[in-house]
Amino acid sequence: MVDHYVHGYHPKESTRLQDQAATLVDLLHSDTSYPPGSLVLEAGCGVGAQTVPLAKNSPGAKIIALDISRSSAAEAMDKAAAEGLSNVRILQGDIFHLPFPKASFDHLFVCFVLEHLPRPVEALSILKE
């Protein structure tokens, strides 16, 4: 598995991602919520910039967030814990080799991910299963 992100994993990149998320949170998440009891996969969660608002907007849903980078997933875990979110589980894993059985999720959330993948169409095909 490759731990690669085109913009790198420097702390400055994490700050940039958080700033981007803060700027766009209302636009992206003002009407994004999932019903109680839903199981949601956030594919490519990065440092958790989208994970936290998703989980806050959907307190009755279970959010499983996945990222290929161990360091990004760890940062996302820290953010979710700091917010006291109990409906989030963050995993390190590869979109192209999902560690779940097919049809495990009720919903899929993908944001700022596909443009960084070498085969985005293949990724979508895998994710829709």
Domain that holds residue 45: 11-128
Residues 29, 93 contacting (CB under 8 angstroms): no
Instruction: Classify residue 84 by its DSSP letter.
Output: T
Note whether residue 5 is domain-resident. no
User: What's phi and psi for 68, nearest 5 deg?
Assistant: -75, -25
Note whether residue 4 is domain-resident. no
Note whether residue 73 is domain-resident. yes
> The pTM is what?
0.81
Any idea what the CATH number is for the domain that residue 84 is in?
Answer: 3.40.50.150
Note whether residue 71 is domain-resident. yes
Chain segment 54-111, per-residue pLDDT in tens: 999 999 999 999 999 999 999 999 999 999 999 999 999 999 999 999 999 999 999 8
Note whether residue 120 is domain-resident. yes
And the tokens for 10? 């420097």
Confidence class for position 6, pLDDT limits 50, 70, 90: very low
- Confidence check: pLDDT of 115 > 50: yes
Rounded Cα distance, 25 and 50, in Å: 8
Chain segment 17-67, per-residue pLDDT in tens: 667 666 676 667 678 899 999 999 999 999 998 999 999 999 999 999 999
Note whether residue 2 is domain-resident. no
Rounded Cα distance, 24 and 74, in Å: 23
Number of domains in the chain: 1
